[in-house]
């Protein structure tokens, strides 16, 4: 196929004027040529990049209509321009789309796998552990009242959230602590007794009292969560963060604000990203009898990082806050992320084991992928950068 004919076909596809025969012609071209160099008829790299973005955006909208308003960013590795790889990505995604439109055409193998069971993304899954140790599986529990801790009612709302509804004017005796834990492949939203909202990402847990009393509202987090804290200057809200692999841990003290905390044990840093309000970050000490060794105040748009081998706090100004909360908004979003960082997020959300074979590239990735994509779709996007995958059940092998 000539480059002029290829350009004509993609132009028609973007303008919804391609006939089924022309779409089929483009698909056939891809199947025959996606491993070969493509001579793309554009003047320079900028034109090719713009066209790539337009095509990918169109294809993502078609595949995921609910996210049609989300701007699409092409996912690519930071390296020299590779027209063949970029076009391969776009047309391969299109091939998936076209075949999904036409079941009679037959399935297409879109990643190297020896299993026929597709690996689907995670969903709203969590377990509530009450103060007496009993547990409730929230994703399968019926809406309505689930339990009562002291004078506090525990409800599952019609929207599927967990909500605590304390009575007013009554003090509770012994404090009853509850824990909400999400598995790998799970996430959940909680409304705490003070009205604060917390979104838990996969493989995370939040421990909190069924009713806040005393001078502070304290909770304990492992994993990742986004907080929208209800304002109450007379009762500061504090999040304790257990040490990643040993001292130091950390704490975040707030007075009504929006922020995200990433405190996974397999990450090198505890990251707190502030979107609104003000928070005080403290590092060092254990969760119980916490004694901070250093502290700092964050402004909106900043991120504090506490490493697992130092009690010092590094503040990153002008952070991309959208990247920090992309998971809550249904996306993976990466900015200068290496393949191991990318795969850690994928492993948590798809509940898969990741192993590496050969030399893993140190080059960086940028862009976003919808979190409702199947794992095969994610691989197809990542494979534009000469990173390849093999699937053995729920074990993913990453290869050069």
Which tens digits make up the pLDDT trace of 269-278? 899 999 999 9
Helix, strand, coil % over all residues of the chain, rounded to 5: 25, 35, 45
- What pLDDT digit, counting tens, does each position of 318-331 carry? 999 999 999 999 99
More confident call, 382 vs 47: 382
Half-sphere exposure (Cβ direction) of 106: Cα atoms closer than 13 Å: 4
The gap between the terminal CA atoms of the chain, to the nearest Å, is 30
- What pLDDT digit, counting tens, does each position of 63-100 carry? 444 444 433 334 544 433 333 333 444 444 432 322 22
Listed residue (161, 133, 131, 173) closest to 148, CA to CA:
131
Least confident interval from 24-28, 88-92, 350-354, 363-367: 88-92
Q: In angstroms, rounded to a whole number, what is the distance separating the alpha carbons of residues 23 and 132?
A: 61
Least confident interval from 44-48, 91-95, 134-138: 91-95
Which whole number is the average pLDDT over 171-175? 68
Least confident interval from 56-65, 203-212, 250-259: 56-65
What is the DSSP-derived secondary structure letter of residue 49?
Answer: H
What pLDDT was estimated at residue 73?
A: 38
Least confident interval from 54-63, 98-107, 332-341, 385-394: 98-107
What pLDDT was estimated at residue 113?
A: 44
Angle at 279 between CA 277 and CA 285, to 5 degrees: 170
* 400 in Cβ contact with 359 (< 8 Å): yes
What pLDDT was estimated at residue 96?
A: 31
Average pLDDT, the chain: 78
Listed residue (200, 181, 182) closest to 190, CA to CA:
200
What pLDDT was estimated at residue 227?
A: 97
Please, which pLDDT band fits residue 192 given cuts at 50, 70 and 90? very high
């Amino acid at each position: 196929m000539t480059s002029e004919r290829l350009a004509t076909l993609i132009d028609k596809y973007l303008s919804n004027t391609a006939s089924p025969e022309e779409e089929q012609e483009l698909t056939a071209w891809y199947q025959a040529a996606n491993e070969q160099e493509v001579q793309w008829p554009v003047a320079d790299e900028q034109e090719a990049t713009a066209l790539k973005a337009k095509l990918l955006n169109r294809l993502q909208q078609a595949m995921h209509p609910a996210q049609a308003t989300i701007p699409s960013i092409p996912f690519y590795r930071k390296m020299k321009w590779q027209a063949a790889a970029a076009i391969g990505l776009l047309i391969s995604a299109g091939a998936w789309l076209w075949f999904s439109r036409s079941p009679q055409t037959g399935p297409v193998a879109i990643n190297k796998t020896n299993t026929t069971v597709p690996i689907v993304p995670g969903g709203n899954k969590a377990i509530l552990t009450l103060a007496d140790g009993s547990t409730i599986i929230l994703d399968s529990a019926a809406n309505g009242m689930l339990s009562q801790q002291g004078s506090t009612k525990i409800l599952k709302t019609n929207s599927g959230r967990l909500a605590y509804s304390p009575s007013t004017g009554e003090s509770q005796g012994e404090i009853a602590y509850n824990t909400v834990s999400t598995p790998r492949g799970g996430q959940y939203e909680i409304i705490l007794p003070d009205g604060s909202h917390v979104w838990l990402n996969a493989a995370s847990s939040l421990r909190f009292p069924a009713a806040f009393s005393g001078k502070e509202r304290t909770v304990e987090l492992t994993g990742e969560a986004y907080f929208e804290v209800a304002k109450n200057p007379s009762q500061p809200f504090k999040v304790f963060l257990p040490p990643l692999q040993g001292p130091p841990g950390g704490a975040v003290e707030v007075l009504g604000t929006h922020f995200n905390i990433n405190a996974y044990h397999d990450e090198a840093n505890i990251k707190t990203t502030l979107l609104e309000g003000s928070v005080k970050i403290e590092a060092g000490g254990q969760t119980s009898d916490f004694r901070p060794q250093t502290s700092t105040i964050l402004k909106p748009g900043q991120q504090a990082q506490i490493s697992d081998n130092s009690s010092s706090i590094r503040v990153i100004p002008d952070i991309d806050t959208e990247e920090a909360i992309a998971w809550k908004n249904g996306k993976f979003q990466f900015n200068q992320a290496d393949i191991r960082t990318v795969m850690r997020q994928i492993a948590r959300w798809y509940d898969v084991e990741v192993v590496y074979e050969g030399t893993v590239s140190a080059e960086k990735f940028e862009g976003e992928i919808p979190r409702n994509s199947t794992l095969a779709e994610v691989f197809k996007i990542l494979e534009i950068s000469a990173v390849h995958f093999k699937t053995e059940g729920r074990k993913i092998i990453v290869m050069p």
